[in-house]
Structure 1
Amino acid sequence: MPLNRRHFMSFLVAGLVGATSGGARAGWLNQAKGVGSMSVEFPPFELQASTSALRHLTSGLSGWRIERMGKSASNVWLRTSDGATWLIGVDQRDLLPMFEVFTLAMLSMSELQERWERWEPPALPGGVPEGFRQLLTTRPAAPVAPTDFEPWPLQSWRTEVVWRAEFIVEGGDVGPTFGNNPNTQSAARPGAVPPSASAFCEVAVGVLFSGEGRRLLLAVDWMPMNMLVVQDEAEISAFLADCELVTMADYVDGRRA
């Protein structure tokens, strides 16, 4: 049961299966602020893209193509006016058991090729079902960019980075669940995390394009590794209710890492 192309692209963007778990998780625990106090603050999770890549989002986009798994988007391909192709997908970071956060990553074809060449099967624990083990340990096909793009929907636009604080609250009324020590993960505007939160992290969860009297939102979904591609004004406003906007120029000039 080999990885299909869409699953492979998600794994590439996410660091090829588990690259931010395990030992990396311990590193983030060591960097967390407030260890031993009521709430643990983790370092911000930035957009996973180079400065040059992010500048392409402010002008020069000529085409795009959405890849979907069911009703949800898995990746968005972009074509720039210079003919280059870029992939936007979801990247993740494990902060604590049952607390993971997601942002967007933007990779060039050369970066995708490099990740594919460095791919190694993950070390899986015993007891993993055979079908799932085969899925995760089968080398994926090499990345291939699409050739057909739809025109980029805006002629001129303003680009902003969408920020929010994500936090967990231990115990409480979490509704039907399974396992031990359940928690709820929610979002708030940066600086508005409730005192009941046991841990939180500010996350760049998306990019908002505004122009010509309309808006387009590319953002992470609450469903892991899924993207939201939204042009409906009411849906965008609902998503942004717990967020803060930073212009791309200001974001690039002073990343919060």
Structure 2
Amino acid sequence: MKLALQKSSIPASKIFVVKELKEKHFDATWHAHSEYQLFMVLKGKGTRFIGNTVQSFDAGDLTFLGPGVPHLWRSDGMYFDRRNKHFIHGLVIYFRADFMGDLIEKDEMQQIRSLFKEASRGIEYYGQAVDQLGTMMKDIIAEHGTASLIQLLQMLELMAQTKEYRLLHNADYAYKLKESETRRINLVINYAARHFQKHITLDAAAALLNMTPTSFSRYFRIKTSKSFSDFITELRIRHACKLLSEDDDKTISQVSYACGFNTLSNFNRQFKRHMKMTPKAYREQFSTL
């Protein structure tokens, strides 16, 4: 049985791999792999899917994922326009789950063992930790031999000790997917990411997989631990957050319709449910910064 698409091969001769990404857009493929991944966005905007979470991303987004955690950074629509001059830039470090061997079981490694365990839920860093780790990630590109390994261990120590992080999904979330199913879920996720600002029907989504709406609803919930309607709502709320913080010219009503909500009352209700505050209060947070 094949699991989710494997993408980050590490040569047998290496302990870890550092890659610098400079492309028109990030790879829009929902996938997982057997390595740990530390990823920082240096340039670019879009929506980030990790496990069963949906979040906006921008420059400075820094995450650490354990083996098997499915993920996708979908760049905003403008990055897919061949006529534009926008591009993305990111740094990613991959290393194998067993790269420390028996050393990981020693007393001195207790904090890093805890870090690796929490990475199964996905970790997002913020604050000074992002600045420190970002600098170290850039520096490690120029390091070689044992110096690069020492740098990696110092990064793991900082990641294990900092309090400036949050876990992304709950401990009960588990995701194992055959490659054929990965392709099917990708069809749905990318369709939703392209069209969430418009009216999306369950029938249209189900038709992508040649399923009945009832079968599709059950399938989507099993694979993502949430309903399709909740998934669409999350996409719309995250886009609303972006507009409220970046576009002062749009009224809250205009933001509501730009994100695909049919009524302002429903937008206000859904926004408060997800963000624990009203759209007006959310916008005011940014206007006082």
The TM-score with structure 1 as length reference comes to 0.26
Larger helix proportion of the pair: 2
Higher relative contact order (CA 8 A, sep 6+): 1
Larger strand proportion of the pair: 1
The TM-score with structure 2 as length reference comes to 0.24
